[in-house]
Structure 1
């Protein structure tokens, strides 16, 4: 019963991810997207664009990373992609991950923490793909909101391309044929500086 109780407490706690709002707007622009919506959309991106990823990888493992990657924001808060840097972000998120995943039984706690750390380190093919999906989903949110976060944070082309580097490296066809022309279009409009 103790195992079940711990799992249920964890599932109850992570429901709070629905109350973590991001800077991105939902398609109709009526409100900000929450972390749960972001993770769901990332998972759909993962299922849809996998043919463009240049490395062999385990899609199921990437999907697991996608589902847990932002849960730490329940305690650490969201850091906007184009906002001010937070020097304590990594430390705060590690502390939050340990706190959150410790709610689980030890074997699951260890596994979830390892998955989350693997995503953050972005070295395995699965973590690279999950990060590709994270960055691509943010890019899509900017397209559906007429560059909302690019405008809000006065994003420069240098910063936008830096953020998209993982896409350039691991989904080059998608980056070159679809994303780069969009970046240039938004730069020509003065939305990307």
Structure 2
């Protein structure tokens, strides 16, 4: 007889496979193909490993990576909300909270509670780990846009002020990464990758 708790864990793991089919607006660098949530989560987790040394504060890297691997699980049921779509973002919080409840109830109490605590901490963006995790989450699509000739910035005519607002967690987490971001966005503006508004 197979342990019931194990069966529940396996069912949860199988459900996570859907992350591979939730498409984001961001395209893969150099391709027309849009990235999916699983690719995004993997990429930002590796970014955190590589870029953690640039954090202004001491951070628990393992916790950051756990946040990055789980922060978009809510999109299994809430879908991906494009960050620059103001109307779609109006009810985003409600949809994602409902999705978090559903997801965390699918797995054993201790594991569900850990995922929910990580998700809540990421969303509140108050701890050094959450701020650094948010920085990776925001920096990755910006790199894709920059290296894709403007990507979604150009496609959706995103204002420079909105881009700076979106990337602002980097300013709180790392002076060196913020300097890089400012240089990248200045260059993007000069190259016409960001509309002049």
SS at 2:107 equivalent: coil
Shift of 1:122: 0.7
Partner of 1:164: 167
SS at 1:164 equivalent: helix
- Gap runs ≥5 in structure 1: none
Partner of 2:176: 173
Partner of 1:184: 186
Higher relative contact order (CA 8 A, sep 6+): 1
Q: Is structure 2 residue 97 aligned with structure 1 residue 97?
A: no
Rounded Cα–Cα distance in structure 2 between residues aligned with 1:46 and 1:170: 12
Pairing 1:111-150 to 2, within 5 Å after superposition: 111-150=114-153
Rounded Cα–Cα distance in structure 2 between residues aligned with 1:172 and 1:185: 18
- Of 61-70 and 124-133, more deviation after overlay is shown by 124-133
Q: State whether residues 82 and 150 of structure 1, in contact with CA within 8 Å, keep that contact through their aligned partners in structure 2.
A: no
Pairing 1:38-49 to 2, within 5 Å after superposition: 38-49=40-51
Shift of 1:44: 1.1
Shift of 1:153: 1.7
Shift of 1:58: 0.5
Q: State whether residues 25 and 152 of structure 2, in contact with CA within 8 Å, keep that contact through their aligned partners in structure 1.
A: yes
Pairing 1:37-76 to 2, within 5 Å after superposition: 37-76=39-78
Shift of 1:190: 3.0
- TM-score for both structures, normalised by structure 2: 0.93
- C-alpha root-mean-square deviation of aligned residues, in Å? 1.1
* Runs ≥4 residues deviating over 3 A: none
Q: State whether residues 78 and 95 of structure 2, in contact with CA within 8 Å, keep that contact through their aligned partners in structure 1.
A: yes
Rounded Cα–Cα distance in structure 2 between residues aligned with 1:122 and 1:65: 11
Shift of 1:165: 0.8
Shift of 1:181: 1.6
| Alignment length (residue pairs) | 192
